[in-house]
Structure 1
Amino acid sequence: MPKRIKSRKSKIGTAPGTLVHVGEHVSEDVKITRISYNKENFNRAVYEDIEKCLSSCRDDSINWINIDELHSIEIISDIGKRFSIHPLILEDILNTTQRPKIDIDNNYIYIVVKMLYYDKSIKEIKSEQVSLIIFENYILSFQEFEGDVFDDLRRRLELDKSNIRAKGTDYLAYSLIDSIVDSYFDIIESIGNSIDTIEDILMSNPSKKTLDDIYKLKRELIFLRNSIWPLREVLAKLVKSEYELIEDKTVMFLRDVYDHTIEIVDIIETYRDILSGMLDTYLSSVSNKTNEIMKVLTIFSTIFIPLSFLTGIYGMNFEYMPELKFKYGYLIFWIITIACTLSMIHYLRRKRWF
């Protein structure tokens, strides 16, 4: 089972706005990627120093700065000073336990989104926090690890005739969120395939592993729902409210993403209902198996009750039992035994016990 709650011990007792990284990192190196583009030009470069990255940005272009690995507090602090970002926002960027949310400032919009992956080998959903800060000509994205779902978006930006090259940072932010939401459908599809597989097993030969798989998928769906449901609130605010950084033309696209999140949540609820029904089916199947076993045992017990009675009587060694010295007593005993057995079988069949 994946670890869902990250330790916040390092945050205990610190003042608000204190920059402390909460989370894990797999690499000691921080990767800073800058993409600058406009209608005519596109440029992409990777840096290790944030100052060199910022100094290479162009005012006549849209500048997308992406940072992989958040353990470098110095880099986050330098970015905060350069763009006048509130310390509480910087604290939230470093604290990777945030739920999806949105904060509005006079000069920027801060958005937290959960980027999710479905590991098919272990059938678990892995989560990564992505923080976006939208400015007029800049958009900053912060990721916990290297690797994301934005490769298709980057390829679109490289194309000279791409429509996105003629739009602002609000449309780029929409494209980033849309890429993340689209990846949710892949997770939903994988979970749906797993449910179909479990359903087939449930109808044929359910086992203890089937029950474990059902509970595991239920946990995954709960985690998925908790990661996506708050995103609806974020998108609703972007769609219903008027912000200078969000153009009216972009609102229509954001509304489309909002509809996708509603669709995903509805599918999740449907899958949860299906799994609950499968759990009931499994318990009913196990109960029926137990009943069948008890029925067989009861039939055997019923057949052997009169036989046990007979053997109990003639197992007594009283001296004056008249049948003890009877010449054909043993044969008669077996005749009576077989007759009793056949009579009990006939009686139980008439009662439709088997």
Structure 2
Amino acid sequence: MEKTIYQGKFTWLDVTQPHKIQLLDIASKFNLHAYTVQDCLEPDHLPKFEIDGLARFIIVRIYNPKELETPHSVQDLTSKLRTDITITIHRLPQPYFEEIEKKYLVPGHTMTPCDVATHIIWHAVNSYLAPAQYLDDEVDKIESAIFARHTRGKFEEKLYHLRRMISVNKKLLILTESVIDEVYRDTKSNPFIQDLKDLNLKLHSNYEHIHEDVSNLLNIYISISAHKTNEVMKVLTIFSVFFYAAHFYRGHLWDELQIHARITTQMGISGQSATHAGDYCGHLHLVQTQKVDVI
């Protein structure tokens, strides 16, 4: 779907969920390179900046706030800038386009295609703020659960999942920083451009800090789990040694009594004494059987 958001000193053309033929028509109409425009169809394309003749081609990634738990819930936003036209191409509607139009593209405001691109990139970078807060809260919850003695659970999968999300977002912010540097290399700095750079740096630092927290927490959790396993093995070893010693002593005593009974019989002890010895051995045999049952 094509929509003209602004028509004045320059034109802002917005294209939502285009197909390949539509993109080729746009490339032909505005004298753009077909291969460059087709990059818009790649769902996993990384942020980049390149110059195509008189046009500047920008790809940034926007985080979808409706799917905070999905590590790849980002969509690409492509902008082609010229002095006379700005073309934005994306898969999903972008509500903040209307905000930019109502706030800045009104009489009394002097806007250029570069200014529009600055606002678009700012909103793209700012979309990573909510995921950073969500990830930070999740790390705090898991940390509290790990150190709570009454809580039991396995957190390896959750921690690895969070670390993957953080790593992906951090890499996208690093690549976006390169795009920002290229876009404004020859542009005189202004407060809004500086605010954009500061925001990107702040979020990158936040993700770096959260990534370190997750890595440290994962190492601590693995250490605690290993310590608990070692304690259990120590207890099992102690019980095993105790029962082995008791069994060995009982068997050795029974053998000694059997030998003693045979020796006394062979030496001609009276039948009464032998009977007493046999009763005594039988009594010990009963005790041994009872011990086995108890154990």
TM range (shorter): 0.7 to 0.9
Deviations 1:239-274 (Å, cap 9, x if unpaired)?
3x22xxx5x36x442232122222222222222211
Matching residue within 251, 255, 259 for 2:194:
255
Question: SS of the residue aligned with 1:133?
Answer: strand
CA distance in 1, matches of 2:75, 2:25: 23
Question: SS of the residue aligned with 1:124?
Answer: coil
CA distance in 1, matches of 2:146, 2:108: 48
CA distance in 2, matches of 1:68, 1:133: 14
Matched residue pairs, number? 273
Matching residue within 261, 272, 280 for 1:326:
280
CA contact (8 A) 1:118 1:124 kept: no
Name the amino acid aligned to 1:264.
Answer: L
Identify if the C-alpha distance between structure 1 residues 237 and 180 changes in structure 2 by more than 3 Å, giving closer, same or farther.
same
Distance apart, 1:87 and its partner CA: 2.4
Question: SS of the residue aligned with 1:320?
Answer: helix
Distance apart, 1:328 and its partner CA: 11
CA contact (8 A) 2:254 2:284 kept: no
Name the amino acid aligned to 2:38.
Answer: E
| Percent of residue pairs identical | 18
CA distance in 2, matches of 1:221, 1:103: 27
1:66 has 2:14 as partner: yes
CA contact (8 A) 2:13 2:86 kept: yes
Question: SS of the residue aligned with 1:113?
Answer: strand
**Structure 2 counterpart of 1:91:** 38
Deviations 1:164-220 (Å, cap 9, x if unpaired)?
943222111111110111111111111111111111122123533x11001111111
**Structure 1 counterpart of 2:118:** 174
**Structure 2 counterpart of 1:26:** none
**Structure 2 counterpart of 1:108:** 55
CA contact (8 A) 2:71 2:168 kept: no
Identify if the C-alpha distance between structure 1 residues 164 and 68 changes in structure 2 by more than 3 Å, giving closer, same or farther.
farther
Name the amino acid aligned to 1:228.
Answer: L
**Residue segments in structure 2 that go unaligned for 5+ positions in a row:** 262-276
Identify if the C-alpha distance between structure 1 residues 164 and 97 changes in structure 2 by more than 3 Å, giving closer, same or farther.
farther
1:33 has 2:30 as partner: no
CA contact (8 A) 2:68 2:131 kept: no
Rg larger in 1 or in 2?
2
CA distance in 1, matches of 2:108, 2:73: 30
Matching residue within 236, 250, 254 for 1:297:
236
CA distance in 2, matches of 1:211, 1:217: 10
CA distance in 1, matches of 2:79, 2:245: 81
Deviations 1:13-57 (Å, cap 9, x if unpaired)?
xxxxxxxxxxxxxxxxxx222212xxxxxxxxxxxxxxxxxxxxx
Name the amino acid aligned to 1:64.
Answer: W
1:193 has 2:137 as partner: yes
Question: SS of the residue aligned with 2:5?
Answer: strand
Deviations 1:69-119 (Å, cap 9, x if unpaired)?
13x222111211221112232232233332211112442211010112255
Q: How does 1:1-354 map to 2 (within 5 A)?
A: 31-36=1-6, 58=7, 60-70=8-18, 72-118=19-65, 122-143=69-90, 145-148=91-94, 151-159=95-103, 165-204=109-148, 205-208=151-154, 210-239=155-184, 241-242=185-186, 246=187, 248=188, 251-316=190-255, 319-322=258-261, 325-326=279-280, 330=284
Greater fraction of residues in helix: 2
Identify if the C-alpha distance between structure 1 residues 67 and 153 changes in structure 2 by more than 3 Å, giving closer, same or farther.
closer
**Structure 1 counterpart of 2:269:** none
Question: SS of the residue aligned with 2:83?
Answer: coil
**Structure 2 counterpart of 1:39:** none
Question: SS of the residue aligned with 2:3?
Answer: strand
CA distance in 2, matches of 1:186, 1:223: 15
